[in-house]
Structure 1
């Protein structure tokens, strides 16, 4: 008899499940499989769904939901699209013109490839996705259906400045500063938190595990949330618990679940 899973666990990729952004550690993979016995499992990331599928295949796991581009695309375990929201073309053109004017290094994701004028050095972190380097990516970016744009400022101070300017100039876009030198931009009404609301069970617990600013929205919506201890203090402040690694979060969650039963 199939066990009914009433709980939903939503996990981030980089710095969380894929701690080094290239491969899943053995203990974290074992912890995932333990959690899957109790929960429906979702990965929510700024990356593409194609990269999530690469993680599934490489680690022989099956997800119930794949959430790409910080919530702009949600796909279920059967490949059915639940939500699909690329950046509106007119807004995209304005954004690309701004990047060209300011000479900001960036790359874009259309769901199939990643391309831009950012010289990506860590090929092992692309997770099966083709990267196309272009000295002039502006026309190509304007011509495609783009789900997410990553900006690559050269310093933390520059990232802060650009993030503030973007939020003022493009209030309809979802904009997250991730780490010290990356800004992620997706369509309006997209976030991991909104994705959690869309797929959350009506009568079960929701658990979120992450480490970045783009995880705050799912920390807010989840009943129980875990943040990696390497995250910035302001991100950790939104989570219920702070843990060293993904498997520590799973251990704690399963212990709490067992205590409730007994």
Structure 2
């Protein structure tokens, strides 16, 4: 059986760490079963996290469903057209937001030419879990690419709901979602975690999540868990629990009945 977990707010706390209890539970689970991440984070981040905690993660859905991996092989991609992505970046910059793009190996690009290095360094301090950014400007980098884009990310300190509605009107042909209380992300139309799951070589799984971007997969899988701090609207779609370890413990007990 495959157990899939969301990262931010579910398996991972705001400091980017996983509790010892959760790590030990995953170790025990993967003695007999498979485990994987389902997240808005990029593949490079997920690989580094799995390596840091020595977790066996055969399955990964990353970038809010823009990419899916099985045994480190990309089995599905849903990418923003490159030219459209560049034009969207130019529009977003008019709103003076902290916009960035993360490439396939984890390099992050910021509008350093528009905002300056001082603002970049200030942003790095606000969001330390993102790590260091490249000194190459985001538009300079995108203009050198050949491939499409998994997602565009924006850090939004104020007026998130207002900006979310404005961007949804502006970019009608793309998915625009609030992935946390201070992030808006844009992906190709039709991109979501469930669509990515359908391209993995597995028919069923256990899933645990806590955010609106988890709703599509919570609705479609039968065996689901929701963190107790999740929005009330999500709690009808799974068993409410406090940790990944608690969910794994429940599943393990089922096997022993």
TM class, shorter-length? 0.7 to 0.9
Distance 1:15 1:88, change over 3 A: same
Q: Which residue of 1 aligns with 2:116?
A: none
Matches within 5 A, 1:124-203: 125-126=129-130, 130-132=132-134, 137-144=138-145, 145=147, 146-155=149-158, 158-199=159-200, 201-202=202-203
Q: Shift of the alpha carbon at 1:247?
A: 0.9
Q: Shift of the alpha carbon at 1:123?
A: 6.5
Unaligned runs of 5+ residues in structure 2 are 112-119
- Report if the CA contact (8 A) 2:61-2:197 is conserved: no
Distance 1:195 1:56, change over 3 A: same
Distance 1:133 1:215, change over 3 A: farther
CA displacement, residues 192-218 of structure 1 (integer Å, 9 cap, x when unaligned): 11122222634xx42111111211111
- Report if the CA contact (8 A) 2:4-2:35 is conserved: yes
- Report if the CA contact (8 A) 1:65-1:76 is conserved: yes
Q: Which residue of 1 aligns with 2:17?
A: 23
Q: Which residue of 2 aligns with 1:256?
A: 254
Q: Which residue of 2 aligns with 1:121?
A: 125
Q: Which residue of 2 aligns with 1:4?
A: none
Q: Shift of the alpha carbon at 1:92?
A: 0.7
Q: Shift of the alpha carbon at 1:130?
A: 4.3
- Report if the CA contact (8 A) 2:40-2:179 is conserved: no
Unaligned runs of 5+ residues in structure 1 are 1-6
- Report if the CA contact (8 A) 1:96-1:142 is conserved: no
Give the TM-score normalised by structure 2. Answer: 0.85
Q: Which residue of 1 aligns with 2:28?
A: 34
Q: Shift of the alpha carbon at 1:142?
A: 4.8
Q: Which residue of 1 aligns with 2:214?
A: 215
Q: Shift of the alpha carbon at 1:131?
A: 2.2
- Report if the CA contact (8 A) 1:196-1:221 is conserved: no
Give the TM-score normalised by structure 1. Answer: 0.83
Once residues 218 and 257 of structure 1 are traced to their aligned partners in structure 2, the CA distance between those partners, rounded to angstroms, is 23
CA displacement, residues 75-121 of structure 1 (integer Å, 9 cap, x when unaligned): 211x3220123211132123112102222221211222112256122
Which secondary structure state, in structure 1, belongs to the residue aligned with residue 180 of structure 2? coil
Q: Which residue of 2 aligns with 1:3?
A: none
Q: Which residue of 2 aligns with 1:62?
A: 56
Q: Which residue of 1 aligns with 2:68?
A: 74
Count matched residues.
244
1:247 to 226, 232, 245: 245
Distance 1:198 1:104, change over 3 A: same
Once residues 174 and 143 of structure 2 are traced to their aligned partners in structure 1, the CA distance between those partners, rounded to angstroms, is 16
User: Does residue 1:84 correspond to 2:84, yes or no?
Assistant: no
Which secondary structure state, in structure 1, belongs to the residue aligned with residue 125 of structure 2? coil
CA displacement, residues 174-232 of structure 1 (integer Å, 9 cap, x when unaligned): 22212221112222232111122222634xx4211111121111111222111111222
Q: Which residue of 1 aligns with 2:87?
A: 94
Which secondary structure state, in structure 1, belongs to the residue aligned with residue 12 of structure 2? coil
